[in-house]
Amino acid sequence: MNFDELKNTAKKEWKELESSNKPLLLVGNATCGHSAGSSDVLDVFRERVKKLDIDCNIIEVGCIGLCYAEPIVCIKKPSKPIICYANVTSSKAAELVDKYLLKDDLLLNYALGTIGDGEIKGLPDLFQTPVFQPQVRVILRNCGFIDPTNIKHSLANGGYAGFVKALSLEPDKIVEEIKKSGLRGRGGAGFPTWRKWQLCRDVKEKEKYLICNADEGDPGAFMNRSLLEGDPHSLIEGMLIAGFAIGAKEGYIYCRAEYPLALERLRIAIKQVQELGLLGNNILDSGFKFHIKIKEGAGAFVCGEETALIASIEGNRGMPCPRPPFPAISGLWKKPTIINNVETLASVAFILQKGADVFSRYGTKDSKGTKTFALVGKVKKTGLVEVPFGVTLRKMIYDIGGGVLKDKTFKAIQTGGPSGGCIPKDLLDIPVDYDSLKTAGTIMGSGGMVVMDENTCMVDFAKFFLDFTQKESCGKCVPCRLGTKQILEILNDITEGKGKEKDIDLLSELSETVKAGSLCGLGQTAPNPVLTTIRYFRKEYESHIKDKKCPAGVCKPLIQYSIDEVKCIGCGVCKKACPNKAISGEKKKPHKINKSKCIKCNVCFDVCKFGAVKII
Amino acid sequence: MNITIDNKKIQLKEGMSILEAALSNNIYIPHICYHPDLKPVSVCRLCMVDVKGKGLTVSCHTPIQEGMVVKTRSTEVDKVRRLSTQLLIVNNLSGKARRDQNKQNELLKIAKYVGITKEDLKRFRISKKKYAIDSSNPFFDRDMNKCVLCGICVRTCEEIERLGAIDFLFRGYDTTIGTFANKPLKESICEACGECLVRCPTDALRLKKPQNPDSKVRSTCVYCGVGCGIYLWVRNKKIVSVSGDRDNPVNRGILCVKGRFGFDFIHHPERLRSPLIKKKGKFVKASWKEALDLVAEKFSYCKSDDFAALSSAKCANEENYLMQKFTRAVMGTNNIDHCARLCHAPTVAGLVQSLGSGAMTNSISEISRAACILAIGTNTTAAHPVIALKIKEAVQNGAKLIVANPKEIDLCRHADIFLQHRPGSDVALLMGIMRVIVEKGLIDKPFIEKNCENFQAFEEALDSFDLDFVEKATDVPRKKIIEAACFYATRKPAAIFYAMGITQHTHGTDNVLATSNLALLTGNIGKPSSGVNPLRGQNNVQGACDLGALPNVYPGYQKVNDADVKEKFETAWGVSLSDKIGLTHLEISDAIYNGKIKMLYLMGENPILSEANSRHVEKALKRLEFFVAQDLFLSETAKLADVVLPAASFAEKDGTYTNTERRIQRVHKAIDPINGTKPDWWIICEIAKRLKAKGFDFTHPREIMDEIALLTPSYQGISYARIEDIGLQWPCVSSEHPGTQFLHAVKFATKNGKGKFIPLKYRAPAECPDKEYPLILTTDRSLYLFHTSTLTRRVKGLDALNPQELLNINPKDAACHGIDDGEIVQIISRRGKIKVRTKLTDICPPGVVSMTFHFSESPTNVITNSAMDPVAKIPETKVCAVQIKKLRK
């Protein structure tokens, strides 16, 4: 079969599925769905429709992005728009079958909105709600709507058309197209993708390699995972295009072993592409040969660094090497190697499918296209987000994220994971693009965004990230190995009330040295959380050191619990809950906390319904 | 290329790093992870400099560029450097160590350079991890508390040793360096060579007994035939340590474990310190005069062919020369031989026949540039460790390595093809390979036509080696044979290396000839990085052969039965000489046993452990009328002597050794002979003089070498003055001749100048396994011990690293016999039986067991076969049939 025939068969099947007179159920079953219980929900659906003999199509799909609302089930009944149901539990699933599938009760109180054509009274169009309104779906266009284990779903939605188009072009033209699109590396540093490719193309070597960096290691980041779980073919297509453009015959996907579902779906996808003759020797009779291997990483954060990643694939300990030579000149097995992030390659597929113009319509002057983010932390609607560059942080937090959890006061947002920095309230109106974030002292990174509220101690927060980078440092170079440890020890001391007067200066000195002196990107960015918190929250450091107080009430050694005699009604709940019998008091009379016995576990604070327990 | 460093304009060659450029111009840039032998990794970050237009730059990793302007210090540079240094000191130097300014610690040097004060250090938090010191290695300790993780040890093990025994472990602040599974060094694959130790810039790797020597003397290692250059370090007239000589072209400073640590025998309490005379079956101390007089008196009664001498491949060239001169000129017999008979006699016999010269054709320094290497019958990593490094280097450089060995030796880890042939099937294997080469038309026809003879007869002989037969005879699948043949014939230059696995057979000479046929067939001879390269075993076995410690030739392989030669030596020595070829090593034993030889003069040999079927040797020696043994220790053999003469060790005398690549190298006297001992050359001269012989009035070995040069054509250009620092390779035919890096460049050394193809037939080993003796025993070597261990087992650490003989046996064979790992069993051949502990290992294929012969407690040669090669008279120590008996528990 040639490609057009493949495509047409797939389209036909897809159309049949869409316009079927059987109900269609799309059950979000990516990792976020899994952890919310989607597997149970899926079982309920399957068992129940079988029991009741309902003829319907149930498809497992990837993540649509609304992690806070998982498990999500989208149901399309003939002649009705798709309705998206949120937080579907086993009992809700049963109810949906019994009431909506069997009868026609829409169960609107479980629904978030409709998707696509058609209207239902009392239900908004999901993509017009504040969560989705600022978003666009470029990279994630298929996530949540197609079966990632069925290549035909991808083909029917334009998959591999970009690659087929690329095959008809001269490799130089492909590079040109990417240049035109303005695509910059989505792994964090934002290096123009075309320039990297060009560097590699210019090396006269027969053997070249392409590596997809799917070693997503930032705490709280899951953009790549979601994409791999929801639409693995967009990555494979991107790799085929990139491989063809740079002249590589072999590609590696370096993915962490902690992503079992992503790996499984990738393996299925690769097998299917091979079976259709889109991957392997002499693809579509073009003479182009390309193979993809998966290399599972063991979870070392540093293996996201290009040279460490290469060392790991070569079977060595994942440790970075000094550059130059850059991998594009001498990388895997000492051959020219291009390493691109998952999202970069997915963008490549989009650009070749729809054209550079369509892609560059999104974004700002120097940051073209869209970017996916994992919006997490103290925000109401956590999830996977895709926005065009240039959206403000405020929009991200308050519109897409629905504001700070429990309507507390916003304090800061961390971008770029452990390598990034935090941005305070005053800067919420800066646009999200590579350069603006850099000016603010942080980085774009791969797309992690952690929102912090008033109850976050910024010293403690910096300590958290330094603890991470210190443990994840490969240990090779002195500034990173010993410098981050020293910074961490000082932060530890500060949060324990043992900070010394000159510690802030020492922290700055250490941080700047580690940045300037470290061998690889890990060390060169590791101090960012410290530097930005000192820059924006210096007073918080000072009160820890000078006043021995933690203004956010987080650092245990610096806080004490007490009971407000006026507010306490003497209900005895706290007394009962205290694990160390530190609370005493008669019924209906104000209680007291014995400070010498209090272990600061925060239980009394949590259980008091009258706000009588105070942290001072 | 012009660059400026600290306002100093410098002109340099391209390709240097900024750091190298600075250091070579005496501009110091602090560094701790850089080492000139290793690839830069720039992890210490102390060598950062300021490059105009680039800012902070790591100098060890950045190549110089035209017009570069470098500042070794700037505010930015100092900031990073100072802080990194402070962090290292806080972590790695205790207060005490910081004050100890005498310590050779790079960190202290750098601290001084950047100027670090107590106040600087006080600011930091210290929560040091405590590491237990790894003292499992007998020679040096590993103290990770002092380690700065520069990784020099890791890189040394990887890049120089290509062993990879250690690597970084864990992550972050917990990062440390250790072995696989973080076990003690001794339990790892570490070979204790100490190359990491000598490069460690801190005190993390340190000698167990640190020494502060006050002087050093250049010398040559006394163990294997590689001939590594060493320095003996002396303190208070004692040799306290050894280091590699970086200027020596053989080893470039690299040493193996024996070479670096194996010298405690010099001052060992068991050294003989007085001549001993056996009276009523017991040794009694005697004066030198008394002993020498007695020896001379006894020898004076001895009729020429009643006498035999066994010379020593451990002794210097000069001493071997004197020994054969004494035997021939004073005693009037050619009954002289030495242990080369037991190792490379077939090499001499075979290669002289085919190539005209019985020595390694090429040089050690050429190995790394070979495109293909065939290592057959050589356990190189154990027996010739430094040459093994060169082979591994060649592989790293892209060479294809073919290993042919009955056992899956360590070198196989680096091999592209491993041919595991049956012991003793070498001729079949090599002829099979050659048949493939001929059939595939891969022969070097022009070379053969121009330079060789007898090709047709050889080609006909290939008829009986079709691959069906070869496969059956060798157990090697034909696919591998074809693959090996193609590699060897197409990747040029290709070099062959072999050792005892080729020679110690009843068809040892045929084996050797098979290798020279192969080299001739493909034109892989007479060119750099090619050739036929026998790896000689003893430090001076090449020299002992060269200088005529053989029954059939005078020095320089001049035949004793050639009238012109005889006349030449009669004139030179002023005596009449015998033209009767003398007896070989085993023939001497037999002749003693049969009462034909009555007196034996033995210098530095221990045949009771080294000779095949050694019980027979022991019985023979007991029948001698008079037996003189000359040694450092009272060896198993010396115990049977009537007079024992205590000799000085190599550290106590001057002389020369000729290594495996024909390089004549100096041994310098570093200390006076240990009290009561005398150099071997002096002892021989004293005996000769007492027998009224002329031509033994030497006062220094230098004079002996001058005489050697007069009479030995290939040594004609050698004099002490020329080889004081760096040795020369023979042939060196005049005082201007630069020596010869590889042989047969213009023509072969044969009479007509042609390389000769020799047709070969396959012969099975003399003793094949049968129902009664179902297993083949083959002999092997340990890296840690040498030969009969007279020296190495007197080095505590070496003994600790390999404390006992182990019978390597395949688990399948062990299961058949119901034998466990580590069990003591009896191993029996038709000649004797010994007890030995087992080691179950896949290294040996089923049907083959192996042992070394380093241990007098389990003397392997009691059971080996003394059947001889008809030409070279070497016994077949590589193959004999044995049975294993389980001992009752």
User: Are β-strands B558-559 and B599-603 bridged in parallel, bridged antiparallel, or unpaired?
Assistant: unpaired
C-alpha triplet B327, B330, B331: angle, nearest 5°: 55
> Confidence band (pLDDT; 50, 70, 90) for B343?
confident
Distance between CA atoms of B654 and B660, rounded to whole angstroms? 20
Query: How confident is the model over A262-272, as a mean pLDDT?
Result: 97
A317 contacts A309 by C-beta, under 8 angstroms: no
- The answer to whether the Cβ–Cβ distance between B42 and A317 falls below 8 Å is no
| Tally of CB atoms within 10 A around B45 | 29
- The answer to whether the Cβ–Cβ distance between A322 and B42 falls below 8 Å is yes
Query: How confident is the model over B507-528, as a mean pLDDT?
Result: 96
Q: Sort out which chain B residues have CB atoms less than 8 A from A509's CB and list them.
A: 79, 83
Using CA atoms, how far residue A309 sits from A298, A316, A332, A474, A585, in Å, is: 11, 10, 9, 12, 60
Q: Is B396 on the interface with A (CB under 8 A)?
A: no
Reported as type and span, the H/E element at residue A592 is: strand A592-593
Distance between CA atoms of A528 and A520, rounded to whole angstroms? 14
B235's CB contacts (< 8 A; 6+ apart) are B211, B212, B213, B214, B215
The tokens describing A178, both together, are 């990417």
Query: How confident is the model over B40-49, as a mean pLDDT?
Result: 94
Q: Sort out which chain B residues have CB atoms less than 8 A from A468's CB and list them.
A: none
Q: Sort out which chain A residues have CB atoms less than 8 A from B45's CB and list them.
A: 477-479, 517-519
Distance from CA of A315 to the nearest CA of B (A): 13
> Confidence band (pLDDT; 50, 70, 90) for B77?
very high
> Confidence band (pLDDT; 50, 70, 90) for A445?
confident
Strands (E), B649-701: 655-658, 663-667
Q: What is the largest CA-CA distance in chain A?
A: 87
What part of A 435-474 touches B (C-beta under 8 Å)? 470-474
- The answer to whether the Cβ–Cβ distance between A485 and B41 falls below 8 Å is no
B744 contacts B447 by C-beta, under 8 angstroms: no
Using CA atoms, how far residue B142 sits from B97, B166, B185, B186, in Å, is: 16, 12, 9, 11
Query: How confident is the model over B622-638, as a mean pLDDT?
Result: 94
pLDDT tens, residue by residue, B212-224: 899 999 999 999 9
A242 contacts A178 by C-beta, under 8 angstroms: no
Half-sphere exposure of A210 toward its Cβ, with a 13 Å CA cutoff?
Answer: 30
Question: Which residue in A483, A530, A475, A500 sits closest to B83, CA to CA?
Answer: A483
- Decide: helix, strand or coil at residue B729: strand
Residue B118: per-residue pLDDT: 87
Lowest mean pLDDT among A7-16, A532-541, B610-619, B778-787: B610-619
- The answer to whether the Cβ–Cβ distance between A519 and B43 falls below 8 Å is yes
B163 pLDDT more than 70 = yes
Q: Is B121 on the interface with A (CB under 8 A)?
A: no
Distance from CA of A176 to the nearest CA of B (A): 30
Nearest residue of B to residue A303 by CA position?
Answer: B171
Residue type, B502: I
What does residue B238 show for φ and ψ, rounded to 5 degrees?
Answer: -125, 145
pLDDT tens, residue by residue, B801-852: 999 999 999 999 999 999 999 999 999 999 999 999 999 999 999 999 999 9
Q: Is A321 on the interface with B (CB under 8 A)?
A: yes
| Tally of CB atoms within 10 A around B554 | 25
A411 pLDDT more than 80 = yes
Lowest mean pLDDT among A381-390, B728-737, B867-876: B867-876
Lowest mean pLDDT among A306-315, A372-381, B124-133, B573-582: B124-133
- Give the total residue count for chain A: 616
B282 pLDDT more than 80 = yes
B324's CB contacts (< 8 A; 6+ apart) are B309, B311, B336, B547, B548, B549, B550, B554, B555
Residue identified by tokens 């990643």 is A309
A184 contacts A445 by C-beta, under 8 angstroms: no
- Give the total residue count for chain B: 889
Question: Which residue in B748, B878, B825 sits closest to B352, CA to CA?
Answer: B748
Closest Cβ–Cβ partner in B43, B90, B171 for A477:
B43
Q: Is B39 on the interface with A (CB under 8 A)?
A: no
For residue A71, is the peptide bond before it cis, meaning its omega torsion is within 30 degrees of 0? yes
- The answer to whether the Cβ–Cβ distance between A317 and B83 falls below 8 Å is no
Q: Sort out which chain A residues have CB atoms less than 8 A from B173's CB and list them.
A: 470-471, 473, 475, 481-482, 484-485
> Confidence band (pLDDT; 50, 70, 90) for B101?
low
- The answer to whether the Cβ–Cβ distance between A493 and B91 falls below 8 Å is no
Residues paired with B647 in a beta bridge: B678
Q: Is B88 on the interface with A (CB under 8 A)?
A: yes
- The answer to whether the Cβ–Cβ distance between A476 and B91 falls below 8 Å is no
Residue B342: per-residue pLDDT: 87
What does residue B63 show for φ and ψ, rounded to 5 degrees?
Answer: -70, 150
H-assigned helices in B628-786: 680-690, 701-711, 720-723
B149 backbone φψ class: left, alpha, beta (φ>0; ψ -120 to 50) = left
Closest Cβ–Cβ partner in A472, A489, A490 for B172:
A472
- The answer to whether the Cβ–Cβ distance between A476 and B123 falls below 8 Å is no
Nearest residue of A to residue B78 by CA position?
Answer: A513
> Confidence band (pLDDT; 50, 70, 90) for B103?
low
pLDDT tens, residue by residue, A517-541: 999 999 999 999 999 999 999 999 9
Residue B872: per-residue pLDDT: 87
Residue B889: per-residue pLDDT: 59
Q: Is A496 on the interface with B (CB under 8 A)?
A: no
Distance from CA of B90 to the nearest CA of A (A): 10
Residue B610: per-residue pLDDT: 83
Task: For chains A and B, count residue pairs whose Cβ atoms are closer than 8 Å.
Answer: 108
> Confidence band (pLDDT; 50, 70, 90) for A299?
confident
**What is the 8-class DSSP label of residue A431?**
B
Residue B203: per-residue pLDDT: 87
- The answer to whether the Cβ–Cβ distance between A517 and B48 falls below 8 Å is yes
Residue B100: per-residue pLDDT: 67
Q: Sort out which chain B residues have CB atoms less than 8 A from A481's CB and list them.
A: 149, 172-173, 175
Q: Is B40 on the interface with A (CB under 8 A)?
A: yes
Residue B423: per-residue pLDDT: 94
Lowest mean pLDDT among A149-158, B93-102, B704-713: B93-102
B99 pLDDT more than 80 = no
Query: How confident is the model over B419-436, as a mean pLDDT?
Result: 96
Q: Is B212 on the interface with A (CB under 8 A)?
A: no
Residue B324: per-residue pLDDT: 97
B888 pLDDT more than 80 = no
Residue A29: per-residue pLDDT: 93
Q: Is B123 on the interface with A (CB under 8 A)?
A: yes
B742 contacts B361 by C-beta, under 8 angstroms: yes
The tokens describing B714, both together, are 């290939």
Residue B102: per-residue pLDDT: 58
> Confidence band (pLDDT; 50, 70, 90) for A50?
very high
For residue A325, is the peptide bond before it cis, meaning its omega torsion is within 30 degrees of 0? yes
pLDDT tens, residue by residue, A412-421: 999 998 989 9
Q: Sort out which chain A residues have CB atoms less than 8 A from B149's CB and list them.
A: 475-476, 478, 481
ipTM higher than 0.85? yes
A80 pLDDT more than 80 = yes
Q: Is B181 exposed, middle or buried (0-12, 13-18, 19+ CB in 10 A)?
A: exposed
Residue identified by tokens 């004099």 is B719
Question: Which residue in B45, B118, B41, B28 sits closest to B79, CA to CA?
Answer: B45
* DSSP string across B40-79: ----S-TTEEEETTTEEEETTTSB--TT-EEES--HHHHH
The tokens describing B614, both together, are 């050694």
Residues paired with B824 in a beta bridge: B837
A533 contacts A461 by C-beta, under 8 angstroms: yes
Q: Is B668 exposed, middle or buried (0-12, 13-18, 19+ CB in 10 A)?
A: middle
Closest Cβ–Cβ partner in B125, B149, B167 for A317:
B167
Question: Which residue in B215, B278, B219 sits closest to B250, CA to CA?
Answer: B219
Q: Is B48 on the interface with A (CB under 8 A)?
A: yes
pLDDT tens, residue by residue, B452-503: 999 999 999 999 999 999 999 999 999 999 999 999 999 999 999 999 999 9
What does residue A309 show for φ and ψ, rounded to 5 degrees?
Answer: -60, -45
Strands (E), B587-685: 599-603, 626-631, 643-646, 655-658, 663-667
